[in-house]
Structure formats: structure tokens, C-alpha cells
Chains A and B, each alone.
Chain A
Amino acid sequence: MSKKFYLVLGILVIASLALAACAPETVTVVETVIVEKAGETIIETVVVEVAAEAPVVEEPVAAAAECCDAYRVAIFEEPVSLNYWNYLGPGSSVWTQYVLAGQAPALFTLSDKRFDFVPSLAKAIPEAVDNGDGTYTITVEMVEGATWSDGEPVTANDVVFTHNACKDLKLTQNWPNQCSPNGVDVTAEAADDYTVVYTFAEAPSLGTWQAGIALAPILPQHFWADGVAAAYVFVDGVAAPEMERPEDCEAEGADADACAAYATYDEAYTNARTTLYEADAAGAPSAGGYTTDKWEAGAFVQRTANDGYYFKGAEIVEFEDGTWSLTMPDGTAYELYGNAEGEETLRYTSGPYSPNVIFSIYGSQDAAFLALANGEVDYVINPLGLSRGLREQAEKGQGITTYTNADYGMYYIAFNMNKFPMSNYEFRQAADIVMDKEFVVNSVLGGVVFPMYSTMPPGNGFWYNPDTPAPYVGLSREERVNMAVQVLTDAGWSWETAPAWNADTEDVDPGVGIKGPDGQEVPELTILGPGPAYDPIRATFNQWISEWLRELGMPVKSELTGFNTILGPVFVDANYDMYILGWSLGNVAFPSYYYDFWHSSQCTADTGNYNTPCFKNDEYDALVEEFMSTGDLERAQELVYQMQVVLADQRPYINLFYKQTYDLANERVVFPYTETLGGIEAQAGMQTDAQVLLSK
């Protein structure tokens, strides 16, 4: 009795939920009805109970005959926040970037395929004016007619408001680059509702203007004014202490007064920032194609089309000669960088097309691609790379199309130039000679990646120097070993038994008892790198490189370890021999990483910055300093070309390979273009301009 009883009981409880769910419901609604009262017709608002219809998925707004359905995108981590201040601050995450893409407009942007600097909410590209007192002014005329999704106009006041909040509240993480790039003081003023005047404390460069202030996001003052004002409360009247900031307040003899004053000062700004980062962003208007209006934690994020999007219906065309042109629906046209000659390389009309973009949050990459194969989502936005097995499995789904593009990243081995023998030029040269990248890439890894010879990925055509020397391509193993031994011998290296090619075994007889140019013993060396579970490609390279160096007689071992384990010795302590990692290279239009990674002032051991090899080269420093300060694009290109040659010769890094990106989407998604550096993922899934066809 009791068993059956509990069984039936359980079933009925669940069934009651099901029955209730299936039953039509009555809901209370407010209706305006016309009623007859005492012979006269009046209009009255009454509360009535009506049978509610089952919720029906909103019919898409058809922009064309067969367009468009909701654009369903799979992601596999939750965004951190929908608060844009927090997104560029401590809540920075690539997943947040996707769900907020396009929400904050900018005065300028980068063109679609070529990444040229083009106007967005600015009318034209302005020139800097030298004020004669060391300062420079750039005056930007803004377009009129751009509005936020709530109908308020986007004005110069919004630009100045965002800029000042960033500066005044000392916003953290990615914000400093938006209001004081490279530490340059920039003030912003609104001359009128549609004119912004920037004043630079030094000559604007590509880094501070084109890749800095000009691309900074604009946030709506009318929405954020209260939130920002609440943050200002903490810092109003707070002045920086006059005394110098103590280096270490824990140290004996530290100036207690200065420490206390700075603690109070820092706390005020921390409180101000936290207030802003915590502010509720619900209902924040967007000036992009979509407004992010609903976030169901752990399940989905919903974006809704912004019908008032300023560029909706605009036609973008690019030509073979580099011309970029934009024609607004009202006929206003912009044309830059050419004379519209040659073949068209791009033509599309801007959306948004889909009524909604829905980001479904999956627990893992596998679950997301299974959902794609199963037709649950239209596209998987995947910043983490994709294993061949998972890709092939997903491709078996019905109507799945794969788009392949070059990745804007590089994978490399770095040498600690503060330590012997990595400090030795010939050691690095010999290492470069014996590294047969083509063999590993083609024979071992089956061509899943591409060998790389320059510090600029070839996909970034404007900056890539095709003449960067790559003298060891195509050498046989015998030639490599002989050449490396010759290079080392010429530089004074010696062995008890020198390495040599053995024609009988067709293998190398490893060197024994190697000594440096001055007879130094070569210490045991370690190549740190991610293990095969994290990245089998880098792990494979690591093992082959250590094997080739051992053949030269170098006591080298591979240490395959967790990613977090590499960060400490490389980026914090700068105490390593060699390591293999990769960089995603950020801004395609301005490769400032040439400064960050190799300028002598950025040495990790000295400053904690990102020049991990501690490469110090006067010639290179001069080139990169000029590059960072020039505003001349052609000169900048020449400098980057030269820097690639210097780095290929000096080898603080030896580039190993670059990858391809794979974007998998359902064929019913029509992207405006699919060939783009970094792939569709790097464009956040092209939400505004993708069309999700209803007919397929």
C-alpha cells in the first residue's frame, strides 16, 4: 500500500504542475472599453479578467521577404555584468563584451575588413592643431540625428561626461586608455551640442588619438548622471596628499602620516569606483543595433533590436584600392582612402535585422557545439579555440557551415635575456636554426597551424612585412645541425664531443660537454609551457625544441605545466629560462604591442611590465619610440616593418606559429562578410548585420 501510495503521490504532484501549466489562464488586465451609461457613450478604464493566450514567440520584424528570425548565439560562460563602466573596469570579460557589443558608440571606428580608421558619430576625420604652447587641439564635429534607444540624442555632452567620469574617478583597468592613453593628459569640452574639443598635453599620436581617445566609448549622460554623481560624492573635495606616496607602508620607518593620508585618499576613490561599478544598469539605453534588456542568470541574455539605430539602412562599400564608403539612408555619403577603383571587396546594408539576439549560456564548449549541431542555436561564439574532433563532430549537424580565417595572434618561445646562455646572441640564433617549424607543423601536427616567421601575423596585411628574413626555411636536419654548430663554434662555443650528423643512422650524435664562449658551464635549462591538456600544439613544440637543443649538447628539459603556474615565474618574478606561450594581439589598427613587449623600459624584471625577455636594444627602442609618437600612418608602417626585421635578427622571441579561427554557424545565418582577421568571433558574431533567414 505505502509503496504504491508514494508512487502515485509523486506522479500526481508532478502531474498537477503539468496540468496547471497546460490549462488556459486568466490574467488581470487593464482595458479601455467603451460603455453605455445612462444613454451616453463614455470611455472608461476598467479591470477585467480575460483568458490569456499561451505566450507566443514574437513574430520577427521582416526586413526582407525571408528575413529575419531571432539570432540565437551560444556562449559558454556568463557575462560578468551589464554595467558598461564595470565591463571596462574590473568586470572585464570577453563574454560581457559579446552581450554588450555596439551598445556604447564612439566618435570613430575601424572599417570592416581593412580596419582603417573611419568616422562613426564624427562627421569627418579632423586634423590636430598645434596651439604653440606644447598643447594640441582636435575639434570633432559630430553628426546630428544619432539617438539612444530611448530616443534621447547622442551629443557632445555625453562624450565629455564619459571622458570626465573616467578621468575624475580614476576608473581602473581598461578605462585609463579611454581617457588618458599612455598617461597623456587629455581634456574634453563640449563647444556646443555637437562639437567636442579635445586638448592634448602633447602631440597626438596614433596611440593616443586614433587608437585611444577617438575610439573611446560614449555613455548616455541622462541615464548615468545619478550613478556617476553618487560616485563623485566620495571624492568631492578630496585632494591628493602633498607628500610623496610611501613605497611600502609596512616597512620600518615608513612615514605614518603619509601612509594614513594616502590610505584615506585611496579609499575615497575605491569607494567612488565601486559605487559606479555596482550601479544598476537595468534599462541602460544603447546607441548600437541592439539593447541588452534581459539577463536570466545561468540561462540566457536577450538583446532587442534598436529600431532607432543611427546607421540602420546605411550601405557600406569597400573597394580593392582601399576605398571605404558609407552612404546613409538619407543619401549622405562619406568616402575615404581611395577613389573607389577596382573590384568591390565588400558591400552590405547595415541592420539590425533580427528582432532579438539571444545568447544561450551553456556549461561547456561541448554542450554549446552539440546545441549547434542539434539546431538549438544558430552560431557558437567561441574565443577559446576548437579541437579538430569537436569541430568535425559539430560539422555533422544539418546545415552547419564552417568559416575559416587567420587568427590575430602569435605563439612564440621567449628567452630570458638576463640569464646565460639565453643572453648570448649566437645561442638564440642556433636555437632558431635547429627549430624546424615546418616539420612540426606539417609532419607532426598535420597542418592544423601555420609556421610564423615575423612578429606580425600575415593576416594583418597593412603592418605585416613580407620581407622579414626567414633564412632557415627548407633546410634539412643535417644542414640545420651543421649550421648551428658552425654558428656556435664561430662565437667561441666548444664541446668535449661536438654534435655531428651521422649519415649511417641518419640522426644526430648529440654534443657532449658544451661550454660557452668564455668556457662557462651551461646550466640546466627549462622550457616552461602549457601541458597537452591545455594546448597540445604548444606542448608538442616544447618537446621538439628541447630535443633539438639537447642534440646540440644543451642540458634542456621541457616543463609542461598549468597556465597559472607559468604566470608567476614569467610575468611576476621574471625568473625563467625559456617559455612558450601565445598572445592575442588586440588592436589590429595600431600594434602597440611592439612597445609593450620589447621596449627596454618595459622589462618585466625591472618594472613588472610585459617585456618578459628584458630585451634592451637601442636601435629598436628608437624605432618603437618614434612609432608610438608619430601621427603619420605611412611612417608608422615603415617603422613597424623595420622593427620586424630587428626582432627577427635579435630574437628575444622566436615566433613559432599562428592559428586559424573556425566559426561554425547554421547556414540560415547570412553574415555580411566572412573573411576577416580574427574571424566572425572577433566581430562579436556580427550581431547587427547578420541576417537569420526564416525560409531555411
Chain B
Amino acid sequence: MWKFLGKRFLQMFITLLMFQTVTYFLMDAQPGDIADLLTLNPDIPPAERERIRVDLGLDRPPAERFLKYIGNFYKGDLGVSFSQFPRPVTEIILERLPRTLVLFLSASVISFWAGYASGKVLAWKRGGVIEYSSTLVGVILYTVFTPWFALMMIWLFAVYLDWLPPGKFLDPILWLTAPEGIHANDVFVRMIWSVMIATGVMILGLIGTQRLSSQLRKTGRWVSFVVPFIGVFLYWRFASSGISLYAWDILQHLVLPVLTVTLIAYGGTMLLMRTSMLETLREDYILTARAKGMPEKIIRDKHAARNALLPVWTGLVFSIGSSLSGGIITETIFSWPGLGLTLLNAAQVEDIPLAMGALTVTGVMTLLSHLVADIGYAFLDPRIRFS
């Protein structure tokens, strides 16, 4: 296992280096540079234009700039943004990343769970009206034009029904009265941590009660479920320094983008699970299980669905990696200032350090996703071993 991980990390490092090299030179090969844009103003004297180029290091050859960038990168310095000078790239990414992670992790997990569950059932009960209509809905969601769909969701839920805010991640009017020193990102990070800790405690409780007797297990599970719930409640009630109202505001703003991304991702997951399940159901071991008289639910959930899950799992893990940059459309339409929107803006103005920072985060996440997918395979399919 450790040998496998060591080799994989080495491979990942080499791949990342190659990715950064190619990406840097592609970015740099774009016509013009940010200095051209910054100095497109006749009021700026000629000497100033050259000085800006020197200050930004754009007077040096691309290879020299790249070597300097890579050297600094592996020392933990991602440089300074050209377009938000002199803000460090790391600071911008740390500000934007949690927002993107919350949006797309929530959507990915919900759509995965819903797609897995519904795809499994639809394949099992093949041929009914529900299956045909669900498949049709799945195909529509899978092929829908994302910007149009997102705008329709805004129109329906925000404009027509007026149930949800149409975009952004908070209401500025409410935040006018926010206590001094409270920033949205602090609330965001606290929300993420409280949900993660609560979920972690629940999962630990579930694992811990596995070997208990049936009655004790049931009680233990309820306890492990109620305790974190109460914990989260108490935290936001008493220990959140008066910011729960702002957390609620963010949560309200999160619903519509998460719902939109979830629905779009759900279509693909459900169809994939259904197809995979249909193939699995033709396997001999399913026939054998039926011949042995095993309960239908056991055959469906333990024999068929678990084997059918592998491609869906792959899709989920890979989508998390690519969602960081792939969320550009969603983040733009919902005015959700995450990493995708940052990458788009940086690329448009040729802010190479910021664009490289965002792309590198995407690259690292994608490589980690591959690793997680491989490790996950071994757990899902006993025939697969680390080697």
C-alpha cells in the first residue's frame, strides 16, 4: 500500500510539473500581455509603460520567468497577482477555494447519492412508466444547455416564485450591520468545519456501532446522529459570536446554485448507474443469487449495485477534480465568486500568476481525485489490489 502510494505521488509530481510547464507556456504564448492592457492609456508616460513591464518581470524571456515561477512555486510562493496587484495569489486562492468547494462538493455528493439510488431502482424495475419518464428526464438534464438551464432556474425560483435569492452568496443589505471583523469567508469556513465535524462524528458513530447487537446498534446510531446535530445547534446558537444569521443568509444563497448543479450532474449519474446496473443484472452471479433464493433487496443492493457502482464512482471523483475549473459558467451566472470565475477573469487579462495558481489547484485536485478513485476501487471491488 505505502509503496503504491509512494510511486503514485512521484508520478503525480512529474505529471504536475509537466502540466505546469505546458500550461505556463500556453498562457504566455497568448498575444500581448497584461502590461499592454494596463498601459493602454495615453496619459501614462512612455517611461511608465516600460517600468510596469519591468516591475511585473515581463521584460525577461519566458523561459527565465518560468524557471523563476516554478522555483518560487515549490517554495510555496505563488507570486503576486498582476490584475489585483499587489495581492498574493495564495491569498486570493484561499479566499475563493472554499466557496467553490462548498458549491461543487455539495452538488457532487447530493447528485451522486440521488443518481446512484434512483439509477439502481430504475434498472431493477425496468420497463415501467416511471423508468421511461425518469430516463427521459435524465437525458434532458444530462444534455441541457447549462447557461440556459441556470437562467431558467433563476427565473423560476427567484423571479417568478420569489422563493430564493437569484445570485451572489450573501445579501449586502443584511451584511451592512454585520459585527466588526466578521467577514463572509470566516462564516463560510466555520460552516464547512461544523458540517464536516458533525458528519465525521456521525460516521465514526456508525462505524463504532457496527459490531454491536441489533438493539444496541439501533440506539447507538441514533445517539451518534442526534449528538452531532445537537452539537451543531448548540455551536451556532451559543458559540458562534452572533454570526448565525449571516450563516443562514449564505445557506439561503447556496440553495439555488447547488440545486442547479445537482440537477445537471444528477442526470448523468442516474443514467450511468442505470446502464451499469442493467449490465450487471445480466451477470451469472445475479442469476445464481436468485437461484439460491436470496431476498431481492440483498441481490439488488449487495450483489448488483455494488458492482455497478465502479464507473459511477469514477465519474464522481473525477468530476470533483474538474469542477474547480469547470464551474466557470455556474459561478458566472450565479455571481458566485469562486475559483472558476477567478480563473476566467485572470485568463482574460493575462494575469499569468493568478491563472497559473488557479490552474495548478485544479491540476492538483484532479491528480488527487485519480488517486482517491484508485484507492476507492480497491475498497469497492475486492478483486482489485494495490500493486
Interface residues of A (CB under 8 A from B): 3, 5-6, 8-9, 12-14, 16-23, 25-27, 52, 54-58, 70, 72, 77-78, 80-81, 86, 90-92, 172-174, 176-177, 183, 266, 270, 274, 277-278, 294, 296-300, 302, 356, 358, 360-364, 366-367, 370-371, 374, 376, 562, 564-565, 567-568, 571-572, 586-587, 592-593, 596-597, 607-610
Contacts and interface: CB of A to CB of B under 8 A. Distances in A.
Given A297-B337, A363-B333, A567-B37, A18 B167 contact: no
Given A90-B85, A298-B95, A568-B32, A358 B38 contact: no
Contact of B337 (A9, A266, A299): A299
Interface in B186-217: 191, 194-195, 198-199, 202
Given A17-B244, A278-B86, A172 B51 contact: yes
Contacts of A587: 43
B83 interface: yes
B233 A596 contact: no
B229 A12 contact: yes
Nearest to B34: A564
B173 to A, nearest CB: 6
Contacts of B158: 374
Interface string B29-59: 0111000111111111110110110110000
Given A25-B242, A367-B167, 11 more contacts: A16-B230, A55-B174, A80-B85, A81-B85, A90-B38, A298-B96, A356-B176, A367-B333, A370-B167, A592-B42, A608-B46
Contacts of A298: 95-96, 99, 169, 184, 337
A274 B174 contact: no
Given A13-B198, A13-B232, A55-B174, A607 B46 contact: yes
B30 A358 contact: no
A297 B117 contact: no
A16 B191 CA distance: 11
B332 interface: yes
A81 B86 CA distance: 9
Q: Which of A21, A364, A597 has the most CB of B within 10 A?
A: A21
A5 B49 contact: no
B152 interface: no
Given A572-B36, A593-B42, A25 B237 contact: yes
A172 B174 contact: no
Nearest to A211: B43
B170 interface: yes
A172 B242 contact: no
Nearest to A355: B176
Given A20-B236, A363-B336, A596-B42, A277 B172 contact: no
Given A91-B85, A176-B48, A363-B334, A371 B38 contact: no
Contacts of A593: 42
A17 to B, nearest CB: 6
Interface of B: 30-32, 36-46, 48-49, 51-52, 54-55, 83-87, 95-96, 99, 113, 117, 151, 154, 158-159, 166-170, 172-178, 183-185, 191, 194-195, 198-199, 202, 221, 225, 228-230, 232-233, 235-238, 240, 242, 244-245, 247-248, 251, 331-337, 341, 345, 350
Contacts of A12: 225, 229
A360 B168 contact: yes
Given A56-B177, A564-B30, A565-B31, A296 B95 contact: no
A21 B86 contact: no
Contacts of B45: 176-177, 183
Q: Can you list the 4 inter-chain pairs with the closest CB atoms, starting with the nearest?
A: A298-B337, A20-B236, A21-B248, A596-B42
A289 B334 CA distance: 32
Contact of A299 (B31, B172, B237, B247): B172
B223 to A, nearest CB: 13
B55 A270 contact: yes
A14 B335 CA distance: 23
Contacts of B154: 370
B237 A5 contact: no
A173 B195 CA distance: 47
Contacts of A571: 36, 40
Contact of B36 (A9, A176, A277, A568): A568
A397 B40 CA distance: 36
Contacts of B170: 296, 299-300
A650 B325 CA distance: 50
Contacts of A58: 176-177
A55 to B, nearest CB: 4
Nearest to B31: A565
Given A362-B167, A564-B31, A572-B36, A586 B251 contact: no
B55 A172 contact: yes
B169 A299 contact: yes
Nearest to B96: A298
Contact of B86 (A92, A277, A371): A277
B195 to A, nearest CB: 6
Nearest to B334: A363
Nearest to A74: B335
A362 B177 CA distance: 21
Given A277-B85, A568-B31, A173 B168 contact: no
Contacts of A367: 166-167, 332-335
B51 to A, nearest CB: 6
B248 A72 contact: no
Question: Which among B172, B185, B229, B245 has the highest number of chain A CB atoms within 10 Å?
Answer: B172
B244 A25 contact: yes
A562 B202 contact: no
A119 B202 CA distance: 69
A364 B228 CA distance: 39
20 contacts: A5-B225, A8-B225, A16-B230, A18-B251, A70-B176, A78-B84, A296-B175, A298-B99, A299-B175, A300-B170, A362-B335, A363-B331, A363-B335, A366-B333, A370-B166, A370-B167, A567-B31, A571-B36, A592-B43, A609-B42
A382 B332 CA distance: 17
A663 B96 CA distance: 31
Contacts of B86: 86, 90-91, 274, 277-278
Contact of A564 (B84, B202, B350): B350
A376 B164 CA distance: 12
A273 B14 CA distance: 38
Given A9-B225, A592-B42, A608-B46, A376 B166 contact: yes
Chain A CB within 10 A, most for which of B54, B335, B337: B335
A454 B335 CA distance: 41
Contacts of B95: 297-298
A277 B245 CA distance: 35
A364 B337 CA distance: 11
B222 to A, nearest CB: 9
